[in-house]
Chains A and B, each alone.
Chain A
């Protein structure tokens, strides 16, 4: 792979949003993962009015990404449109689509790397890890007006990584067994050498120097090699949050986007002290806590030297950002998250409930697939 110099940061509208969802392609016969992404895209007749539908690393994955939108409602409309387009097309090809961070029982050696130089390079470089990377995440892009703001926001959002992990956790099952984790997906990501946190950098200048250093050491060729939890994306002019599991519904994905936008506004407006060097010491531990225990995680505070229940900090956070959410017109999208925190529920718990109900994982995927395709999941749950 050739070494690419870092692109100039393309300024974008403040707090504009974009969402990418990696989705599972499953057989409608037994709900195991199936190979079909290339054929599906090859025969897709779609004008990209809601955003893109793209290949991901293996043939059992597909990625949908919205257009850049200024409002969360715009993101919701795009995700709904993309979901419906995909449903229509998958039905014609007898393929099911499903959310969730991992497929509960697929056998990773059966996965097929998608055609394309980039995917082939990844397979050659990482070997079996590339096939094990058949995990499914949600990436949220938040627009920044300057490169320095982007670096600051990258550091600031890093503190809230456990919150996003816990609220999106939807990967309790791996290889057919309950992993005891709420989000087991991130364990597959952790195996990659450039995964983890952005180092404590304070400006775009420091970031470009750090990146040049990585290139000189032969560690990274392009920005795509950095599998950081939060990273700047210069060509889009955004900060990209990469730690969320793909939720089971597009409504939950939209709520997470609303959280990212409101939180970013609050952070950029209030500019709290970041303590990046201290946070770097506890980041991995806090991430593990959120993956393992979800909302029940105990988060280490390196400034006050204590542990605080994540649920408690999340409830406070959602209160703190509510004014910003109102200003952005997305307060109604935060209500389901507040309810989640109050009731201690979530996608991982829902998947475990389905497993207890049916006693097998095939039916769990079948139910999850129907859930993704159902419209107005939030409304239906509120009625219940």
Chain B
């Protein structure tokens, strides 16, 4: 239908071109700003509608909008448009990852050893369980099984952060979900770097790339993140704390780091996560500690999740892969719940299990990581990583709801239910 409309428009336009010489040639592709606003409006409408009518987290609506209008279904968002919108998605993911990095409070682990135990158990059990499942039950090679585990072991920082913000949740379950997500992400990035080397070694036996590529990724992300941190802190020190100017400096330095990372083919999610961690660690004078991202980052987040939804390869869906992905998610869920239950500690078991439920989301970071690894050897990578793609695709739709449920059950959401008198 779209093609018919466009071809009739083109015909009219070209006939006018002969008479009206000021007209430009018929636009062959949509302008980036127009695309941005279209993705924004479509995502926003569906997200808000689902939130208002079904109380679903808005993130699910954004992803659904992407799936609906993406190449897999209606095709209104073409593959070219997705590539064109990628910088916006990178910027959105980068800002959210920086925020998660800033919230990684390692000193809490020092003060509370039980958290060290539970985060370590979460990381190791999740990786091991997914690796064994992918290797033994699905039959992937060790390299691709490791890649699958690296990509899917951690929770989704962007989803968790947005769900917490949307629910205005506060409390021990919320704080521990954020901590587990941040530490899980850090561990998954380390595993990701190792996996890059393993994939090179297994597929091309190219030892130079197998060693240098992971180093390039880690050192590059650290360097770019470090430069972004140094720049942000140096400039912000000259400005009043919590001023709008500081917010602009923080966002500008983050976007600069996103841009440089893209230029050097260093993963944006890793670079900005490290920048966030460094910002928190190096900010001895609390220069940017209290400076929050502007509300506007929600705009970017909407576009990010519409793009993630549109990027999911639903056209490659088969029932076998669907079942395998479901199996992976169940194994992963059991590993996370088991880790939280086993680790013990001061938080009662039901609340620890809620933490386990809250860290189930799997989303943009996993999809982007999978694309990074798959792009190394496109001829085999894409099919070898179908499993994590579909696990992420299914969790895109369920994860935010699970996270929201955990926050609600913990009684830590800001209640709008006045009849209950604000009682938790």
Contact = CB atoms under 8 A, between A and B. Distances in A.
Given A92-B111, A124-B421, A131-B422, A362 B172 contact: no
Main secondary structure of the interface of B (DSSP, over half): loop
A28 B108 CA distance: 10
A360 B290 contact: yes
Interface string A86-113: 0000011110000000000000001011
Contacts, number: 78
B422 A113 contact: yes
B414 interface: yes
Contacts of B103: 29
A27 B172 CA distance: 11
B320 interface: no
B378 interface: no
Interface in A305-344: none
Contacts of A119: 423
Interface residues of A, number: 34
Given A39-B171, A362-B289, A110 B414 contact: yes
Nearest to B176: A94
Interface in A25-55: 27-31, 34-36, 38-39, 42-43, 45
B241 A94 contact: no
A230 to B, nearest CB: 31
A110 B168 contact: yes
Contact of A112 (B114, B351, B415): B415
Contacts of A34: 170-171
Contacts of B241: 358-360, 362-363
B168 A362 contact: no
Contact of B111 (A91, A120, A131): A91
Which interface residue of B290, B351, B412 has the most chain A CB atoms within 10 A? B290
B112 interface: yes
A123 interface: yes
Interface in A340-360: 358-360
Contacts of A113: 421-423
B286 A362 contact: yes
A120 B242 contact: no
A36 B175 CA distance: 10
A259 B402 CA distance: 55
B171 A35 contact: yes
B286 A363 contact: yes
Interface string A61-94: 0000000000000000000000000000001111
A112 B422 contact: yes
Nearest to A360: B241
Interface in B216-256: 240-242
Contacts of A35: 170-171, 412
Contacts of A42: 348
A28 B105 contact: yes
B4 interface: no
Given A43-B347, A92-B346, A363-B286, A59 B424 contact: yes
A193 interface: no
Given A112-B424, A360-B290, A94 B347 contact: no
A30 B423 CA distance: 25
A287 interface: no
A366 interface: yes
Nearest to B111: A91
B424 A115 contact: yes
Given A92-B112, A362-B290, A366-B286, A123 B421 contact: yes
Interface of B: 103, 105, 108, 111-112, 114, 168, 170-172, 175, 240-242, 286, 289-290, 346-348, 351, 412, 414-415, 421-424
7 contacts: A92-B112, A94-B111, A94-B112, A110-B414, A112-B424, A131-B422, A360-B241
Given A35-B170, A91-B111, A359-B241, 14 more contacts: A30-B290, A34-B170, A35-B412, A38-B424, A43-B346, A45-B346, A113-B421, A113-B422, A113-B423, A123-B423, A360-B290, A362-B242, A362-B286, A363-B290
**Which 6 pairs show the lowest CB-CB distances between chains A and B?**
A43-B346, A39-B172, A362-B290, A92-B112, A91-B111, A360-B241
